Amino acid sequence: MKIFRNNKSIIISLLKIGILYLVSTTTSNAVSDIFFKIYDVFIQKINPQLVVGSEEYIKYLDEQLSNMNSFPATSIILIECICSILCVVILWRIYEKRKLRDMGLTNIYVSFNDLLFGLIIGALSFTLVAFTLLCTKSVELQNSFSKPHFSYVLIIQLIVFIFVGVSEELFSRGYCINILKQPKKSWVIPIVISSIIFALLHSNNPGISTLAYINLFLFAVFMGIVCIKTKNLWMAIGYHITWNYFQGNVFGFLVSGIDTTPIYKVKVISPNIINGGDFGPEGGIIVTVLLIVSILTAYKFLPSRKVSL
């Protein structure tokens, strides 16, 4: 009976996660529909030859949404992130009746060092990946390091990746792990299940592959261990932000299959298991090795706090 109660509790937790995902998705779709109705009017103003719903219109919209360098793509990502954040916070506070610090969203002023450390390690981690890929000759640099390309878009996309980092960590680590945690039970099952969910959430990303799923799972396990050890989300949020930003906007790689505006542009010589092909480095073996080492390092050497900051 005890085992049954634990299993039932996990099932209820999974149902809660499913409800949150459904509510968040429905909300973001509704807001996105409103955005597109307004955007349709804008398109008609600048491109009157495009008929809404026509083949040319759909092709134009697909091109606009295929990367983060366009206004609609950036807007949709921000809408999804904001809706996700709001839904997580509202359900946690109103339905669960728990404080935000209970899922790791502690006072930023107190936990600022964790955030800063995460930002630095995330940047260094992907820099290591980038230079490894350059050294293996599986990619090549299009513009030299002495000729960086700067654009105002870099600031906009930094804001986007901040929201992505906060929303994904808040949902996957903050909500999922804590909802799945059983009293007096190990954190292993919550981390594993939440990591599977995190990987599956990227199923619609361009270029997704088996190795990409594995790496997304490993990334989530790594972030889960970091959150459990530090008793807050901030180090994981910092790591997530700079990992994505350095991957896409600094070194010019695809970020989980999505194109961005980079400071340096790289060219994939030939899509393979090393560089990750159409999904980017997160679909490659270099990232797999880095994440395994990171998981082992965090598990063994990152101090476990008794209380959250």
Q: What residues form DSSP beta bridges with 258?
A: 255
Identify whether 119 is part of a domain: yes
Identify whether 308 is part of a domain: no
The domain tally of the chain equals: 1
pLDDT confidence of residue 57? 74
Identify whether 309 is part of a domain: no
Rounded-to-integer distance, Cα 221 and Cα 215, Å: 10
pLDDT confidence of residue 309? 58
Which of residues 86 and 307 earns the better pLDDT score? 86
Contact 165, 241 (CB under 8 A): yes
Give residue-wise pLDDT tens across range 215-263.
999 999 999 999 999 999 999 999 999 999 999 999 999 999 998 999 9
Identify whether 90 is part of a domain: yes
Give residue-wise pLDDT tens across range 196-214.
999 999 999 999 999 999 9
pTM: 0.93
Contact 281, 133 (CB under 8 A): yes
H/E element, 33: helix 2-46
The per-residue pLDDT of the chain, averaged, comes to 91
50 phi/psi in degrees, rounded to 5: -85, 125
Q: DSSP string spanning 117-185? A: HHHHHHHHHHHHHHHHHHHTTSEEESS-TTS----THHHHHHHHHHHHHHHHHIIIIIIIIHHHPPTTS
pLDDT confidence of residue 183? 82
Give residue-wise pLDDT tens across range 33-62.
999 888 888 877 877 777 766 777 777 777
Compute CA 23 distance to the chain's CA centroid, rounded to the nearest angstrom. Answer: 19
Structural domain including 20 reads 2-103+110-301
pLDDT confidence of residue 281? 97
